Amino acid sequence: MSLTEHLLRPLLSSSAARPLITHYDDACGSRVELSAATLANWGAKTANWLVEEWDVEPGDAVSVDLPAHWQTAGVLLGSWWCGAHVVADADGATVGFTGPDSHPTTAEVTARVALDPLGRGLGTAPGDGSFDYLSEARVCGDEFSPLLPVGGDTPALLGRTVDEVLATARERATALGIGAGDRVLSTRPWTLADGVLDAFLAPLAAGAHVVQVTGADPDALERHRTTERTTVEVR
């Protein structure tokens, strides 16, 4: 079973409509909240796009060079759902996910993620041979069924297997004091692998809600603590 299925199945079966990720970008004043069901839909769309358009199979490398963002969550979950091996180095990767203004990656295919608060695409087609991820994935199916089995020994994150990443995420959750029902305020960048493990995977593995903040000043953080009633912090 894929890492995404391990993480999302318990949440979808118990509280699919419950908010799972709240993303603040204080630089542009945006707040976006996604339920477990909505996040699963974005993960499914991503997985379907990777498989249907680029024939990604379990163990194939997919590079991710993106900030902490709700769209990054969809990219990561979709990649793991189809068994992709998420890496930082695009060399040799089938697909390389990067930001809207970055140079094309050295992967076989570059997918630009607009990082628009409302989920809009780039607006104009990239002229460098890359693809607009949001516009492409949006039209893909909301459900995903793996064509090939994803075993626990499949590489998932920088050489760590599905089983190893899941075990590490649970260990990190315990070490950070994150439990089921917690509301986790995070300003931690989603660097591979430690940032993703602490600020994204550990809360999901524990059944907690992630409140991810980028571009915050101390005054804004205090408002977020109060408004979101956060109980744990990852910084």
The 10s digit of each residue's pLDDT in 115-170 is 998 889 998 888 899 999 999 999 999 999 998 999 999 999 999 999 999 999 99
Q: Is 101 exposed, middle or buried (0-12, 13-18, 19+ CB in 10 A)?
A: exposed
What's the pTM value of the predicted model, to 2 decimals?
0.97
The pLDDT tens digits of the residues spanning 33-50 come to 999 999 999 999 999 999
Is the peptide bond prior to 208 cis by the omega test (within 30 degrees of 0)? Answer: no
Q: Given this model, what pLDDT does residue 14 score?
A: 86
How many domains would you assign to the chain?
Answer: 1
The pLDDT tens digits of the residues spanning 60-94 come to 999 999 999 999 999 999 999 999 999 999 999 99
Separation of alpha carbons 155 and 42, rounded Å: 22
Q: Given this model, what pLDDT does residue 234 score?
A: 97
Q: What is the CATH classification number for the domain harbouring 46?
A: 3.40.50.12780
Inter-CA distances, 6 with 12, 25, 146, 169, 223, Å: 11, 29, 14, 11, 33
- DSSP secondary structure letter of residue 198: I
- Selection from 120, 127, 109, 126 nearest residue 49 by Cα: 109
The proportion of the chain whose per-residue pLDDT surpasses 70, expressed as a percent, equals 100
Structural domain harbouring 215: 3-142+150-234
